[in-house]
Amino acid sequence: MRWVSYTGTTGRHIGLLDGDTIRALDGVPNVLSLLGDDGENMRDAAEAAHRQPTEVVALTDVQLHAPISAPPSIRDSLCFLDHLRGCRRAMGVPPELPPIWNTVPAFYFGNPAGVVGPFDDVAISPGSSLFDFELEVGAVIGRGGRDLDPKTAEDHIVGYTLFNDWTARDLQAIDMELGIGMGKAKDGATTLGPWLVTPDELEPYRRDGRFAIKLRAFVNDREITSGTLDQADWTFGEILAYVSRGVDLVPGDVIGSGTVPGGCLFEHTSADTREDPAFWLNVCDVVRLEGEGLGSTRQTVRASQPVHALQNRTEVHQ
C-alpha cells in the first residue's frame, strides 16, 4: 500500500495510491488515524478505498502533502557512519571515528512542527548562508512499543518515506560549539513524502534481510550522490531498540535513517568552498531526492526571513 495526503478540487483528503490515480477515503482525517494496531485498520481502509472511494483523482491533479504531517515526534539517527567519515574528510581531519560511535546509533530530536510536503518550497533558515539538504529514509511507527528487541523491532514499522533533513551548516557550527545537541541548525524544515509505503511493497528490494533501496540526490538536475539503504551500519531494528529503551514509541513517530554517504553538500566541500555561500543552496535552487519504491521529492529553495537581532549578553553585563 502507498498512502498519500493531498488537496484536490474537493478539499483535503487521504487516499490510496493506485497506479497514477488516488482512491480517496471519506471520514478519515489523516493517515495517522489509521495507525495504532497490527495494521488491521489500514487494511480495512485500503479495502474501502478500492471498493467505494470518495473520489478517484489523477495524481497529477492534486497537491501532495507530507503523508504524516504532524508526527508525535521525530528522531533522526546517524546510522551511516561513512557519512560522518565523509564530513570529517571535508573538514580536513582524519576520518577515523572514536570507538563510541560503534556502540550506539546516535540520534537527535527533530521538530514535528517543521514537517513540509514533498513538493513544498523550503526557505533558507534565517541567518544562514550555508544551507544544505540531507538524503535519508524515514520509518514510521505503526504499533507502539517500549524496550523493543532489535530482532523484532522492525515489526513496529508501518511504512517508509523519503526524509530530507534540511540543515543550516553555519548555525550547526554554533549548535556544536554550545555542546547541547542540534538546535536552530535543524528545526527549519524536514521533508516527508511523497507517500507512505508499507513494508510489503518494498519486499522486492530486500537483500539479506535489509532493503537494498537505491537512493539518489540531485541539485538543479546535477547528481550529488547515489547509494543504497543497506549500506547503513545500524539497521532500523537496532535503531528502534535503542531509541525505545525506557521510553514509549507511539504510532506516527518518525525515525530518520541518517544521511546516505555523500548525500549532502557538506561532504563535498573543501577548504576553498566551505565558507563560500555560492557553493551551498541558494534561492531558486531545486533539490530532488529519489528512492526505489519510495518515489521522489522536488523542492525549490526560497529566501529566508530577516533575523531579529539579539543583544549579546557580554554587552549587557559590561
Three-class HEC string of 32-96: HHHCCCCCHHHHHHHHHHHHCCCCEEEHHHCEEECCCCCCCCEEEECCCHHHHHHHHHHCCCCCC
**Residue 219 sits in a domain of what CATH number?**
3.90.850.10
Phi, psi torsion values for 254, nearest 5 degrees:
-115, 130
Residue 152 lies in a domain: yes
Q: Which domain covers residue 291, as residue numbers?
A: 74-302
* Residue that finishes a domain, picked among 20, 39, 65: 65
Is 315 a residue whose pLDDT tops 80?
no
Direct distance between the N- and C-terminal alpha carbons of the chain, in angstroms, rounded to an integer = 62
Mean pLDDT of 126-153: 98
Q: For the chain, percent helix, then strand, then coil, each to nearest 5?
A: 25, 30, 45
C-alpha cell, 57: 483523482
Residue 286's DSSP bridge partners are 300
Q: Is 151 exposed, middle or buried (0-12, 13-18, 19+ CB in 10 A)?
A: exposed
Is 30:67 a contact under the CB 8 Å cutoff?
Answer: no
Residue 208 lies in a domain: yes
Give the percent of the chain with pLDDT over 70. 99
Same-domain check for residues 32 and 93: no
Residue 99 lies in a domain: yes
Phi, psi torsion values for 268, nearest 5 degrees:
-105, 10
Same-domain check for residues 50 and 94: no
Q: Is 170 exposed, middle or buried (0-12, 13-18, 19+ CB in 10 A)?
A: middle
Number of folded domains that form the chain: 2
Is 38:143 a contact under the CB 8 Å cutoff?
Answer: yes
Same-domain check for residues 78 and 29: no
Is 316 a residue whose pLDDT tops 70?
no
Q: 6 CB contacts (<8 Å, ≥6 apart)?
A: 12, 13, 14, 15, 22, 57, 62, 63, 64, 65
pLDDT of residue 227: 96
Same-domain check for residues 136 and 242: yes
Same-domain check for residues 91 and 37: no
Same-domain check for residues 149 and 208: yes
Is 66:5 a contact under the CB 8 Å cutoff?
Answer: yes
C-alpha cell, 187: 528545526
- Name the pLDDT band for 26 (thresholds 50, 70, 90): confident
Same-domain check for residues 107 and 29: no
Same-domain check for residues 144 and 168: yes
- Name the pLDDT band for 270 (thresholds 50, 70, 90): very high
* Residue that finishes a domain, picked among 26, 47, 65: 65
Same-domain check for residues 114 and 143: yes
**pLDDT per residue as tens digits for the range 73-125:** 999 999 999 999 999 999 999 999 999 999 999 999 999 999 999 999 999 99
Residue 316 lies in a domain: no
Residue 118 lies in a domain: yes
Same-domain check for residues 143 and 275: yes
Q: Is 230 exposed, middle or buried (0-12, 13-18, 19+ CB in 10 A)?
A: middle
Same-domain check for residues 141 and 29: no
pLDDT of residue 82: 97
**pLDDT per residue as tens digits for the range 118-139:** 999 999 999 999 999 999 999 9
pTM of the predicted structure, to 2 decimals: 0.96
Same-domain check for residues 116 and 86: yes
Is 231 a residue whose pLDDT tops 80?
yes
Is 164:272 a contact under the CB 8 Å cutoff?
Answer: no
Residue 254 lies in a domain: yes
pLDDT of residue 39: 82
Is 318 a residue whose pLDDT tops 70?
no
- Name the pLDDT band for 313 (thresholds 50, 70, 90): confident
